[in-house]
Structure 1
């Protein structure tokens, strides 16, 4: 029994774990799972790096302070309907999004409207014109091509902030 316990200690997980994900995922979905993981695996130091785009999980960078080479990331968490051909992944859940408008804002819809009406009649907050790699970029390019875009931003937190001004409607994940 003592030998088994000693041998088991040698198998405890230790060391750094570098995770990359989008800011919105880190802010709204990961705090509790990361805290649970930190409690369950105290020997692992998790480093979360914001990056919503593809990273090379095999590329290493010199980390002189640690005296070793580190990867861009060990794990990448993405909001995506599918995994790219050259990657290995599995779904962790499903996310949904809705169109939002500030209640009482003049010129904005104050009740649920069909998407076609919103695209035709409402001003929009959209993502950067050239953005196309994220699932929401693709949705916007497909559905908002004819929309009246008032503002373009690059992250959901900016969409949420602009929504509070009442200048336009915008899409947000329902987990926000």
Structure 2
């Protein structure tokens, strides 16, 4: 450990609560990280401070700010967490059997639109492996074993601390409700003044959101959402135009594609894992199955024409 002192009498569970509050800066944020209630975090932090006889956090309207003592304890907690995570990854890496549990984190549109058939096939081929799938726009920390694999769209390569493989290219296009008629000859570049359904700020970094801003179609937004599935469903109900990955838009018969896929709105699909898990057999075989599955789906992901869908 570093030069920070180890406060006596604290369990790892105590450190978890201190670390969560320190990282989130609030009780609500810590409660979400720990999957407990706000009052539980409040009582736990107060009890820890009473046991230590020291204040770890200053309470303010803006949140919880660590005191100098709190900063020292948070540093110790982070180091303990890192050591526990490294030990777990090393132990997991020793397991050469294709059995056990594999935890995957991804975004919900991929799960609903593509992944479930791949997961079903994998289970048939590897009945000894139990799958856990978490859908969230937030990127779970693979270093802390919040997940074994992450499947994420994005335009940037993964950080050096992770192993990343590009498994697919996701085309995207503009879609209109089948009931909405556009002027004859109108294409994706001629849609100013229309009602638009667009990603909100939490999805502002995705390629589709950048494309919409460049076209200034965001000025016509009548709905913003943090879910591509919500945007698709709103378009089906006739609320306006939207941009979707082609695998989502083409599968919905009440939507019609407006023009071809837009290259600038496409994104790569990355499969990420931690280097310590690369020799774990159950993780390796699942990663291989995902890569093979998405390779077989690439024509659909490219936005190949679907009968009745081109507009």
TM-score under structure 1 length normalisation: 0.76
Distance 1:172 1:110, change over 3 A: farther
**Shift of residue 92 of structure 1?**
1.1
Q: Distance in 2 between matches of 1:28 and 1:146?
A: 25
| Structure 1 unmatched runs, 5+ | 1-9, 60-70
Equivalent position of 1:113 in the other structure: 186
1:114-168 Cα deviation digits (max 9, x unpaired): 33311x2311001113533434333334444653111111111101111022121
Say yes or no: does 1:83 pair with 2:157: yes
Q: Distance in 2 between matches of 1:24 and 1:38?
A: 21
Q: Where is the helix percentage greater, Structure 1 or Structure 2?
A: 2
Distance 1:145 1:75, change over 3 A: same
Distance 1:33 1:146, change over 3 A: closer
For residue 114 of structure 1, give the secondary structure of its aligned residue in structure 2.
Answer: coil
Where in structure 2 are the equivalents of 1:96-107 lying within 5 Å? 96-105=171-180
1:78-111 Cα deviation digits (max 9, x unpaired): 1123323333211111111111111233xx5266
Does the 8 Å contact 1:15/1:45 carry over to 2? yes
Equivalent position of 2:102 in the other structure: 17
**Shift of residue 36 of structure 1?**
1.4
Q: Distance in 2 between matches of 1:116 and 1:39?
A: 46
**Which protein is bigger by CA-based radius of gyration?**
2
Distance 1:74 1:140, change over 3 A: farther
Equivalent position of 2:169 in the other structure: 94
Equivalent position of 1:175 in the other structure: 247
**Shift of residue 55 of structure 1?**
1.9
For residue 92 of structure 1, give the secondary structure of its aligned residue in structure 2.
Answer: strand
For residue 141 of structure 2, give the secondary structure of its aligned residue in structure 1.
Answer: coil
Corresponding pairs, count: 153
Q: Distance in 2 between matches of 1:166 and 1:28?
A: 21
**Shift of residue 46 of structure 1?**
0.5
Does the 8 Å contact 1:125/1:149 carry over to 2? yes
**Shift of residue 44 of structure 1?**
1.0
Q: Distance in 2 between matches of 1:82 and 1:112?
A: 35
Root-mean-square deviation (CA, aligned residues, Å) is 2.2
Distance 1:90 1:45, change over 3 A: same
